[in-house]
Amino acid sequence: MAEDVTIEEAELSVVFINPPSKSRRKIMRNFDCATESKANYLYQPYDFLLMSSQIPEKEKKSFLFIDAIAEPISEESLFAQLKKRAPSFIVVAMANTSWKNDFNFLKSIRELFPKKQISVFGDLFLEEYFRDEVSPYVDRILSDPFNVNFSEVTTSTENKWDPKYEGSLLKKSREITIKTPMHSSFLKPAYRWPFSRHATYTTVFTSWGCPYSCSYCIMNKFPNLYRQADEIIEEMKIIKERGIKEIYIGDRSFGLPLKNVIKTLDLMIENEFKFSWSTYFHPNQYDKALLEKMKGAGCHTIIVGIESHDQQALKEYGRHMKANHLQNLLKDCNKLGIDVCADFIIGLPGETKESILKTIKYSTEIPIDYASFNVATPLPGTSIRQSAIEQKSFSNEYSDGVDSFGSGTVIGNKNLSGEEIKELKNLAVRQFYFRPSYLFKRLTKIKSFQHLLNQVSEGLMILRVR
């Protein structure tokens, strides 16, 4: 297969770099939402994976991916390796939460290679402040993983930010076509998806971006793109040939366009892929027939944004959920044997301790299998960030360490301090996961030895960090 890659001792054409992090933080840098691992997992860097589909065939043998998070490498060792290989194109991932560290790394790369093509991407570049800061050191600031040309030498210093769609076109569903990403180059042992039933997994996208416009979420700033079913199935055939049994369908909201998704699921069943897989799913996509197709095609877990017990309050942020969809979704998932991980947000503007305690209690009462509690954070491109800057409680210069995990700076709201919100978030974790009934339920739902190992590993990390 053309996807096989042999790195020769010769000059490199393209290098992707996920920079080191201080204190070995498990930072995951993406276009749309950089975050830090809440337990022991480490996502495969799926935006780099998608970008590998843009590398010309003739350049693939001289491609190199360096992930200094997955395989801890010092900056000195990384720079020494690059000096020997003199790459033509360098792509560096950056993140809002590790801004200072990443910016210093970028400047060192530019000093090392003053005349090479350097591109960057990351969630922070939704803000003009950061685009201006890196502008003297880069040739391109990438706005999505599909708008990359590794054959083109860029000398212009003007067109550094080129979002594909803006304004009224942003959420219109649009078809894209890509070649198969280079999955073999992204199968590092350190990558761990918390819901996996198998040791090795890879990521597949049927769509990229998000069709929704929740203002507290960074994804509201990205377009709604999708791939045709036949193209997706060809990629899955290659993955199957590699012996990979677990995939994460990385869509931000799996299920759209519905006709294309149904065709994809039918072909997965027809080809007898028998993948074990999970994905994000919006309650508004609820359809019993769709869920049954997903289960038949191997889906074992969906991640659902519930956010709060008070769905009415979420409408202020453009979050609208159809009546009874969530209840029906949870009910049918339990009947079908599909696990549900619910995302919650703690500390939205205007929330009080009492309203957060209601959300925590609600999380223990509904039929879900996992809960991810996130701190309301001024992420780039969100209404929370805009309001915090306007109220002078936050500025772009202090982005470093700001993360929905809550391990760094938490800005608080008018009713609660940052520390109080952080304490409530930790309380939520304890009250959800440390119930005897919950622990018993998890043991009864173990599906394989690898599944057990993953669950124990994640659980022990939750215990350690609280």
Q: How confident is the model at residue 57 (pLDDT cuts 50, 70, 90)?
A: confident
Distance CA 312, CA 320 (A): 8
46-55, 66-75, 79-88, 175-184: which range is least confident on average?
79-88
CATH of residue 88's domain is 3.40.50
80-89, 118-127, 129-138, 148-157: which range is least confident on average?
148-157
Average pLDDT of the chain? Answer: 87
pLDDT of 357 reads: 97
pLDDT of 34 reads: 84
Dump pLDDT digits (tens) for 394-404. Answer: 777 766 667 77
Do 222 and 295 fall into the same domain? yes
Res 462 pLDDT > 90: no
Res 5 pLDDT > 70: no
Distance CA 384, CA 217 (A): 9
**400, part of any domain:** yes
Res 300 pLDDT > 90: yes
Distance CA 235, CA 392 (A): 48
77 against 449, higher pLDDT: 77
Return the SS3 of 354: helix
Comparing CA positions, the residue from 378, 345, 463 lying closest to residue 38 is 463
Supply 421's token pair: 């919100």
Residue recorded with tokens 């809440």? 38
Do 406 and 442 fall into the same domain? no
Comparing CA positions, the residue from 315, 317, 349 lying closest to residue 421 is 349
CATH of residue 392's domain is 3.30.750
Do 266 and 130 fall into the same domain? no
User: What share of the chain in percent tops pLDDT 70?
Assistant: 88
Q: How many domains is the chain built from?
A: 4
Q: How confident is the model at residue 2 (pLDDT cuts 50, 70, 90)?
A: very low
Comparing CA positions, the residue from 164, 261, 280 lying closest to residue 206 is 261
pLDDT of 8 reads: 39
**420, part of any domain:** yes
Domain end, chosen from 319, 336, 353, is at 336
Domain end, chosen from 316, 336, 356, is at 336
Q: How confident is the model at residue 4 (pLDDT cuts 50, 70, 90)?
A: very low
Supply 393's token pair: 């409680």
Comparing CA positions, the residue from 275, 293, 175, 188 lying closest to residue 233 is 275
Query: Cβ-count burial of 220 within 10 angstroms (0-12 exposed, 13-18 middle, 19+ buried)?
Result: buried
Do 124 and 267 fall into the same domain? no
Task: Taking the CA atoms of 381, 195, 51 and 176 in sequence, report the sign of the dihedral they define.
Answer: negative
Distance CA 84, CA 330 (A): 54
**284, part of any domain:** yes
Do 145 and 197 fall into the same domain? no
Return the SS3 of 49: helix
**364, part of any domain:** yes
Judge whether 376 and 384 are in contact, CB under 8 Å. Answer: yes
Q: Which domain holds residue 394?
A: 338-433
152 against 424, higher pLDDT: 424
**85, part of any domain:** yes
Res 10 pLDDT > 50: no
- What residues contact residue 302 under an 8 Å CB cut-off, 6+ apart? 254, 278, 279, 280, 281, 294, 333, 338, 339, 340, 341
**Strand pairing class (276-280; 299-307):** parallel
Q: How confident is the model at residue 3 (pLDDT cuts 50, 70, 90)?
A: very low
Do 20 and 157 fall into the same domain? yes
List the beta strands (DSSP E) in 63-204.
63-67, 89-93, 117-121, 140-141, 174-175, 201-204
Do 184 and 323 fall into the same domain? yes
Count the alpha carbons within 13 Å of 267 in the hemisphere toward its beta carbon. 16
User: What share of the chain in percent tops pLDDT 90?
Assistant: 60
Do 325 and 181 fall into the same domain? yes
User: Please, what is the angle between helix 288-296 and helix 258-270, to 10°?
Assistant: 30
pLDDT of 392 reads: 78
**126, part of any domain:** yes
**The 246-249 sheet, strands edge to edge:** 201-204, 246-249, 276-280, 299-307, 339-346, 370-375
Dump pLDDT digits (tens) for 280-297. Answer: 999 999 999 999 999 999
Comparing CA positions, the residue from 69, 51, 63 lying closest to residue 89 is 63
Res 405 pLDDT > 80: no
120-129, 301-310, 443-452: which range is least confident on average?
443-452
pLDDT of 163 reads: 67
Do 68 and 98 fall into the same domain? yes
Do 252 and 284 fall into the same domain? yes
**2, part of any domain:** no
Dump pLDDT digits (tens) for 91-131. Answer: 999 999 899 999 999 999 999 999 999 999 999 999 999 99
Beta partners for residue 141, in sequence order: 120, 161
Task: Taking the CA atoms of 422, 426, 429 and 431 in sequence, report the sign of the dihedral they define.
Answer: negative
Dump pLDDT digits (tens) for 228-283. Answer: 999 999 999 999 999 999 999 999 999 999 999 999 999 999 999 999 999 999 99
Domain end, chosen from 111, 130, 164, is at 164
Do 222 and 346 fall into the same domain? no
User: Which pTM was predicted?
Assistant: 0.90
Res 167 pLDDT > 90: no
Count the alpha carbons within 13 Å of 273 in the hemisphere toward its beta carbon. 30
Do 325 and 358 fall into the same domain? no
Q: How confident is the model at residue 171 (pLDDT cuts 50, 70, 90)?
A: confident
CA angle, residues 117, 185, 271, in degrees to nearest 5: 130
pLDDT of 268 reads: 98
